[in-house]
């Protein structure tokens, strides 16, 4: 067990270093000389001499691995440099925006879990009946509906026409409902279908027949015996769901003017504020890789038969 965990962690280190290298190179590839940008910001005419002395001061003329090492050391201390646009610390901006995104993704995740469990269980109980068919249709729509359009539809229906929820922004509990539904809907209905498929498979196994023979109630069989086994396949797609949430947040935050890091990234791209983009990418990829690791380890804990195959 521990060797599995250790190996998995060991794989993570070079992968994360690779991610950091990409983020580092990204800023090297951006147009514009950081020294010149800094000088202009200070209101100093960027003469060749001034540029050269600043470049030396900033260490921009050192070998690439020295610059990378220096940058990495700063990143580990959560220093992501300063924003080109505001001149403020990027870390500050990120941590100001991050809670909104975490809030949105957690509520969306909760919504996914609740909806997937209830639709999945009900579809299993009503296999091949009306509710099951509705579940299938919902899943097909959920996999095909673009998030930005769903968001606009929900705003039009529930905010503009019915006036139940605020149109956009983040100023209280009612503000999160529509964005969270928009973000979670697709994953919720497809996960529900996945659960239904895996549950119906489990229900055909022998140990379920034994449980039935013991005279256990249908609810108890479903919840205590079938569900824990039926949930396993869903766990493997958890990483995928998270990727969806992170990428989806970019779009949903834009539609609902939700002040999270996804919207921050889009603003930064449109304004060419590269240090912000760099920090955003590094952060999301780190979260993504880390959660995928947790999913793998969790899966292994629940199902010890899984071995780390030679990748």
Nearer to other proteins by C-beta: 145 or 216? 145
User: What's the DSSP call for residue 174?
Assistant: G
Nearest approach in angstroms of CB 127 to other proteins is 11
Structure tokens at 309: 């195959």
Comparing C-alpha atoms, which of 262, 241, 257, 284 is closest to residue 176? 257
Q: Which of 50, 51, 197, 235 binds other proteins (CB under 8 A)?
A: 197
Verify binding: residue 140, other proteins, rule CB under 8 A: yes
Nearest approach in angstroms of CB 31 to other proteins is 8
Q: Is the CB of residue 97 less than 8 Å from the CB of residue 198? A: no
Q: Which of 37, 143, 210, 223 binds other proteins (CB under 8 A)?
A: 143
DSSP SS3 for 129: coil
Structure tokens at 54: 């600043």
Comparing C-alpha atoms, which of 266, 278, 285, 260 is closest to residue 82? 278
Buried b (16+ CB within 10 A) or exposed e, 69-84: eebeeebeeeebbbbb
What's the rounded Cα separation, in Å, for the pair 151 and 144? Answer: 14
Nearest approach in angstroms of CB 304 to other proteins is 24
Verify binding: residue 139, other proteins, rule CB under 8 A: yes
Q: Which of 1, 13, 63, 160 binds other proteins (CB under 8 A)?
A: 160
Verify binding: residue 308, other proteins, rule CB under 8 A: no
Nearest approach in angstroms of CB 275 to other proteins is 12
DSSP SS3 for 24: helix
Q: Which of 1, 13, 162, 270 binds other proteins (CB under 8 A)?
A: 270
Nearest approach in angstroms of CB 262 to other proteins is 9
Q: Long-range contacts for 62-70 (Cβ within 8 Å, ≥24 apart)?
A: 68/21, 68/24
Across the chain, the runs of DSSP E, i.e. the strands, are none
Nearer to other proteins by C-beta: 82 or 123? 123
**Total number of residues binding other proteins (CB under 8 A)?**
56
Q: Which of 38, 112, 183, 277 binds other proteins (CB under 8 A)?
A: 277
What's the rounded Cα separation, in Å, for the pair 153 and 52? Answer: 55
Positions in the binding site for other proteins (CB under 8 A)? 14-15, 18-19, 22, 26, 29-30, 136, 139-141, 143-149, 152-153, 155-156, 160, 187, 190-191, 193-194, 197, 237, 239-244, 246-247, 250-251, 254, 265-266, 268-270, 272, 274, 277, 281, 284-285, 288-289, 311
């Amino acid at each position: 067990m521990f060797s599995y965990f250790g190996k998995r962690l060991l794989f993570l280190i070079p992968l994360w270093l690779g991610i950091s290298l990409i983020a580092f190179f990204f800023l090297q590839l951006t147009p514009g000389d950081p020294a010149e940008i800094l000088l202009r910001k200070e209101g100093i005419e960027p003469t060749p001499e001034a540029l050269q002395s600043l470049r030396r001061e900033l260490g921009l003329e050192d070998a690439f691995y020295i610059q990378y090492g220096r940058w990495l050391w700063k990143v580990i201390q959560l220093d992501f440099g300063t924003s080109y646009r505001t001149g403020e610390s990027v870390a500050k901006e990120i941590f100001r925006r991050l809670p909104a995104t975490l809030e949105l993704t957690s509520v969306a995740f909760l919504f996914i879990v609740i909806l997937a469990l209830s639709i999945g269980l009900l579809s299993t109980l009503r296999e091949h009946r009306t509710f099951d068919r509705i579940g299938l249709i919902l899943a097909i729509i959920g996999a095909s509906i673009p998030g930005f359009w769903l968001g606009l539809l929900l705003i039009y229906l529930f905010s503009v026409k019915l006036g139940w929820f605020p149109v956009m922004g983040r100023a209280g509990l009612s503000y999160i409902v529509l964005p969270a539904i928009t973000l979670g809907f697709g994953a919720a209905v497809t996960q529900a279908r996945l659960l239904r498929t895996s549950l119906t498979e489990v229900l055909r196994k022998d140990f379920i027949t034994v449980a039935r023979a013991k005279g256990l109630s249908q609810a108890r069989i479903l919840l205590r015996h079938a569900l824990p086994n039926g949930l396993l396949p869903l766990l493997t797609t958890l990483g995928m769901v998270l990727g969806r949430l992170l990428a989806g947040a970019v779009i949903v935050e834009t539609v609902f003017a939700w002040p999270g890091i996804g919207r921050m990234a889009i603003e930064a791209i449109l304004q060419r504020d590269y240090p912000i983009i760099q920090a955003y990418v590094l952060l999301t990829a780190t979260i993504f890789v880390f959660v995928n690791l947790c999913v793998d380890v969790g899966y292994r804990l629940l199902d010890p038969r899984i071995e780390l195959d030679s990748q």
